[in-house]
Copies of this chain bind each other. A is one copy, B any other.
């Protein structure tokens, strides 16, 4: 028999999802919510709403490539096309390729035995190859290369006679990370995988309900945060829920005693003004910064320094890589000062916010230019100073090297690099867009700090320890964290195929 060459698109599952039920003009709230979650995905966006007419229920859809504000540039789309009091939305993570599978733009909308169904998914399945294999053996066709379509097929294949039973059966079959909002003709279903990898929160907006990846989406529309969706929980929001103000929940079987929240959401991905996994991101990120100072301070008296005392005070400046490491840097400085170090928080790097996806790439031989387009140094702040750069993580190392080079051009006395997370040694199969092991900076050097210090051309380099990181997050008996990218300890089995480099074999070009 012919060997199949079906390949699944490389997971790009940094995404933002929003669901609204029972709110008049739902599309506007979804729109504002997607904007607040724009940092989770800038490649594409889409909204589906349910519109009830006298004798029929319609699903209205608009999706497209680009930022939310670009995709929904024409307000009529919200007011005249996307009518209805319930709906879901999706922000998709940015890829760099010039060709892309447009049909992968979410939400996916289908029509099946029990009516219409739309789905937005944040996460990455770890048994998608096996499932896709089984489904195709049964005669299923795939129009996209997403995990999301697999979930839809599983729902539709279920023999059960209610959408919620079908969803239950489908979610029972999948493994890996999934935060979902599902819209049917009569319900909004909100669900999360048993480990709770990705965040998902439930809120109220007037008499209606909302769900979103992060609470910052609630703030913008004035919704009230109620609680996180529990790991393994499936919440059903329907007209009865609107009447009673109570939602119904069912739980997936085999929910582990302790969850495995993605610790990288705290380190880098979520917005600092959001509350996820039971704690404010800002608060955790500050603790992380403090922990980093405890473990890896840069003291005022450097070895071999014979600078006159009193002079050193002014010399030690701590800068962040804006905006992602701002909060951790503040924590680092405050703890340093508490430890008696005369350090000062400074703005040493200016970031241009106009550098977006449409930008013309500089030629290959001027790679520095790319970093220069995005960052510039404030020379007066750096010149002659002992500079500590606090960054949230090092993935490939390319940007970090260019950043250090840029900072060095401002002629600092020393450059110390502090990373507010442990070395990333392993890829993520639950949704972070890390490259393969061989491309990870820390992995390339086997985590050898000395060689990495040399490679980055810094005076010293330190990472936060995993222990300290875990001290900073709200760990308890029930709440655990996934640290697989640092430790290699994957909470779930990962099928072999997932570990290969994936590539779509259907290319579709943007219109």
Are B273 and A72 touching (Cβ within 8 A)? no
Could you say which residues of chain B place their CB within 8 Å of the CB of A156?
A: 136, 139-141
Among the 9-residue stretches A197-205, A375-383, A397-405, A474-482, the one with 4 or more Cβ atoms under 8 Å from chain B is A375-383
Could you say which residues of chain B place their CB within 8 Å of the CB of A283?
A: 380
Rounded to whole angstroms, the CA-CA distance of A167 and B232 in the bound complex is 42
Q: Quote the shortest CB–CB distance from A186 to chain B (angstroms).
A: 9
Q: Quote the shortest CB–CB distance from A210 to chain B (angstroms).
A: 15
Residue on B with the closest CB to A105? B511
Given A109-B143, A139-B112, A358-B69, CB of A511 within 8 Å of CB of B511: yes
Could you say which residues of chain B place their CB within 8 Å of the CB of A372?
A: 219-220, 222
Per-position binary interface string of chain A over residues 376-395, scored 1 when its CB falls under 8 Å from any chain B CB and 0 otherwise: 11111100000000000000
Could you say which residues of chain B place their CB within 8 Å of the CB of A347?
A: 272, 282, 326-327, 330
Could you say which residues of chain B place their CB within 8 Å of the CB of A346?
A: 330
Among the 9-residue stretches A172-180, A291-299, A433-441, A501-509, the one with 4 or more Cβ atoms under 8 Å from chain B is A501-509
Are B69 and A356 touching (Cβ within 8 A)? yes
Rounded to whole angstroms, the CA-CA distance of A117 and B70 in the bound complex is 33
Rounded to whole angstroms, the CA-CA distance of A229 and B344 in the bound complex is 35
Rounded to whole angstroms, the CA-CA distance of A59 and B507 in the bound complex is 6
Are B115 and A358 touching (Cβ within 8 A)? no
Given A220-B369, A507-B58, CB of A112 within 8 Å of CB of B99: no
Rounded to whole angstroms, the CA-CA distance of A137 and B60 in the bound complex is 24
Given A139-B157, A347-B327, CB of A354 within 8 Å of CB of B68: yes
Could you say which residues of chain B place their CB within 8 Å of the CB of A272?
A: 347, 350, 378
Q: Which of chain A's residues 341-371 have a Cβ closer than 8 Å to chain B? A: 344-347, 350, 352-356, 358-360, 362, 369
Are A5 and B115 touching (Cβ within 8 A)? yes
Can you list 30 pairs linking A and B with CB atoms under 8 Å apart? A4-B113, A4-B115, A7-B56, A32-B362, A35-B352, A39-B354, A42-B354, A58-B505, A60-B507, A61-B508, A69-B360, A71-B511, A73-B360, A78-B360, A110-B143, A111-B142, A111-B506, A113-B139, A117-B141, A139-B153, A140-B156, A141-B153, A220-B369, A271-B350, A271-B376, A273-B378, A280-B380, A282-B378, A330-B347, A334-B344
